[in-house]
Amino acid sequence: MRLLHSKKLELTEFFGNDIPPYAILSHTWDDEEVTFQDIQLPRRKTRKGFAKILSCCKQAVQDGLDWVWVDTCCIDKSSSAELSEAINSMYAWYGDSTICYAYLADVSSGQSLSKARWFTRGWCLQELIAPLQLEFYAKDWTELGTKSSLCSQVSDITGICSEILLGASSPRNCNVGERMSWASQRMTSRVEDMAYCLLGLFDVHMPLLYGEGKRAFLRLQEAILAQTEDHTMLLWTPAADPTGATPFGGVLCDAPKYFLRTGFKAQLSDGTNRLCRYSDLRVLKTRTNVQRMVCHPGIQQALGSTSLAIALREKDPRGVLAIDPPMVTPRGIRITLFTKEIAGVPSHNRTAWVNCWTPGNDPYLVLLPLHVNQPLHLIPSQAWRDTTSPLILMRAYDDNSADTDFKTYQLEEIYLANIPEGLAMRPPHPGSSELFLDLQFSILAPGCTITPQIIPDLPLLEQWQQQSNSYRLHHCPEKIFLVFRINCDPRIGCGSLDQYLLLYINNSPTFRWVVVFNGSSYPITRADAERCVAEYIDGVSALGLGGGRRLTDRSSRSISPVHRVDVSLRLLSDRIRVDGKVMGVTD
């Protein structure tokens, strides 16, 4: 750890037990901060950020401290290894400090703290919680108060209870969802830092990969799952989708903003909604909580002799449920949950208990709405979050409703898709008897463009993406005919300016697809398209379609019900050739 001498303004590096008592600065970054390179040169005095370093050192001297730590100048950010070590250690450094000075550059003496930018920055969250002693200073470095004296006001601003702020209780005693909600209204300049600034709060360590974007927050959640069975991480509120696109998403989100500070909305069996606060949830991961739930009269009546009762009672010495912990895999999060099949709901076909409950005289279990790709009795199947439906609150026992009787839930192992919306998420297959088609054109012939051709009685191509030359069709019928027009640059010598491509897919147990590359005319009805394909399959030239050219015919068995067809348009001897392949996508 590198510290700055409060009188000499010289840097010295310390290790382990040799680290002396020090003050630490918490602040929001602004223009012209003093860097590690600047602090060692005379030019440091010309930087705007030098004034707060001097004031911090002056205050440390008054408090009898010879050393201070300031993130702008005590870390050599040109070294990625040092930066990674510092970020992974920062929570501990703030916690080990003798005192922390929180400098609020936009607050004057006598003003309320609520307007301070400091309370909106991601990095300042750990800088608020970790230090035992923290003093707030206004922009002129007059003291505003301490974390202890201003505890009630700070708690109202941040949503963090006083026990955590004052160090009477550890953040580890709060569930994951509650800790995430503390960061829901904070921001960072870089997308990745929204994950990295939370490492210490969850006591996890991971390498820094700037450039990975929102995947950093995905990695953080996976790291948390690797060391805790706290499923409140799955209880976030999806943003409304103005496009009305697929209702399915991964069970993990891409930012803490989805863990609302007010909690999450859940639906009761009568259709009414209820707001649940994360702080009210109990997670079944410790002996105390397991015993408390098992001993609850309502829970005992609900359990009876179900597999849940057996799992709760067969605790290992640590008090953890006697089921395998979650595991992150390429297919998603492999997890064992209590699930039940649901009929009559278009957007989801399963509900799953996520290992937490609300205490009280009338306990409720929290359920997650899922869409499972395949019947669970076949193999561990991939499940997706139904982002259009709220979470569900179910009474642990209800004489009036069989649907809310938890005795009917069974222990199942599934893969929960862990890719959030916007991170290359592949929508789920809508049903085992239907096809999800992902058609991607790769145009390697220069000067060519391809557009869909509307034909009566054939599927409309609303899902065509002109920018990427791709087409997606859900709920495909048994037979699919798609026609595309290829506009050619006359300089490449392919003849007519317009060429036509007919794609036929037979969605049957023996999967078959045919690409027909035609001349200057195209089928104008579904019957014409069917005749064209039938004649080709029978070995007859595509009559009436400009003579036809070399076609591509593929047949494959036992392919996953999710298919991707790749079609390439290439130049071959000054003419256009169509190549293609089909892949069964199982991940």
| Angle subtended at Cα 427 by Cα 421 and Cα 433, rounded to the nearest 5 degrees | 165
User: Which of 389, 416, 443 is the C-terminal boundary of a domain?
Assistant: 416
Residue 174 within a domain: no
Contacts 24+ apart (CB under 8 A), 169-172: 171/129, 171/201, 172/203
Helix (H), strand (E) counts: the chain: 12, 27
Regarding whether 403 and 471 lie in a shared domain, the answer is no
Percent of the chain as helix, strand, coil, to the nearest 5: 25, 30, 45
pLDDT tens-place string over residues 508-535: 544 455 555 555 555 556 677 777 666 6
Inside any domain, residue 118? yes
- Same structural domain for residues 401 and 441? no
Residue 318: the pLDDT is 45
The runs of H, that is alpha helices, within 212-371 are: 215-225, 287-295, 297-303, 307-313
Is residue 204 a part of any domain in this protein? no
Round to whole Å and give the CA distance between 406 and 404.
Answer: 6
Query: Is the residue at 195 inside a domain?
Result: no
The answer to whether position 225 is within a domain reads no
The whole-angstrom separation of Cα 508 and Cα 585 is 16
Do 405 and 454 lie in one domain? The reply is no
- Within the chain, what is the greatest distance between any pair of CA atoms? 96
- Residues 329, 419 contacting (CB under 8 angstroms): no
CA-based torsion, 94, 100, 106, 110: positive or negative: positive
Same domain, 400 and 480: no
In a domain, 213, yes or no: no
Supply the pLDDT for residue 584: 41
Distance CA 276, CA 177 (A): 11
**Tokens standing for 466?**
């002109």
Could you tell me if 123 and 151 lie in one domain?
Answer: yes
Q: In the listed set 121, 145, 169, which residue is the last one of a domain according to the structure?
A: 169
Residues of the chain with pLDDT under 50: 241-246, 286-288, 290, 307, 315-320, 375-378, 402-403, 421-436, 460-463, 474-475, 492, 494-496, 509-511, 540-565, 569-587
**Where does residue 97 rank: exposed (0-12), middle (13-18), buried (19+ CB within 10 A)?**
buried
Q: Is the pTM of this model over 0.75?
A: no
* Terminal C-alpha separation, the chain: 44
pLDDT score for 66: 96
In this structure, the answer to whether residues 317 and 444 fall within a common structural domain is no
Same domain, 458 and 537: yes
User: Which DSSP state fits 267?
Assistant: E
DSSP characters for 370-422? EEESS-TTTS--EEEEETTS-EEEEES--TT-STT-GGG-EEEEEEEP---TT
Domain ranges, residue 354? 243-416
Rounded to 10 degrees, the C-alpha dihedral 468/474/480/482 comes to -20
Cβ 224 vs Cβ 204: under 8 Å: yes
Please compute, for residue 507, the number of CA atoms within 13 A of its CA located in the half-sphere on the CB side.
22
Helix (H, G, I), strand (E, B) or coil at 309: helix
- Look-up of token digits 């006001």: 153
Phi, psi of 154 (to 5 degrees): -65, -40
Q: Are residues 316 and 356 in the same domain?
A: yes
Q: Is residue 210 part of a domain?
A: no
Order of strands across the sheet with 575-584?
Answer: 470-476, 435-443, 562-572, 575-584
Cα separations in angstroms, 200 against 89, 109, 255, 334: 8, 31, 17, 26
Q: What's the token pair of residue 215?
A: 């995947």
- Tally the domains of the chain: 3
Q: Do 408 and 461 belong to one domain?
A: no
**406/481 same-domain check:** no
User: 378 and 492 share a domain?
Assistant: no
Query: Of 114, 149, 169, which one is at a domain's C-terminal end?
Result: 169
Note the pLDDT tens digit of each residue in 540-566: 443 333 333 333 443 333 333 344 445
